[in-house]
Structure 1
Amino acid sequence: MNKTLNNYMYKVGLLFACTFCINLTNKIVYCALLFTFLTLVLNGIAKYHGHKKAAISIVLCTALSLGLFYNKQYFIGGKPINGLILTSLCAILIASYIGLKLFLKLTARYGFAISNCISLCTASLVDHCIMGIFFTTKFPMDKVWVIVYKETGYTYLFGSLVYLSSLAVLYAKPIYIQIKKWLYLLVSVEQAKSKTPLL
Structure 2
Amino acid sequence: MKISPKATTSVLLTSLFLLGACGKKKSESANNQYTVQSSKVATKKSEKSSSTAKSSSKATEGSPENTLASSFSNAEMQATTSQSQILKPANTSSSIDVDALINDDLTTIVGDWSNDLGETITINPDRQVTSTHRTATLQISPGEARDNCYFSGIGDPTQLVGGAGFIVIPAGVPNPHFGDVTDFDRILIGQSVAADEHPFTRN
| Same fold at TM > 0.5 | no
With structure 1 as the length reference, what TM-score do the two structures score?
0.24
Q: Which has the higher helix share?
A: 1
Q: Which has the higher contact order (CA 8 A, sep 6+)?
A: 1
Q: Which has the higher strand share?
A: 2
With structure 2 as the length reference, what TM-score do the two structures score?
0.24
Q: In terms of Rg, which structure is larger?
A: 2
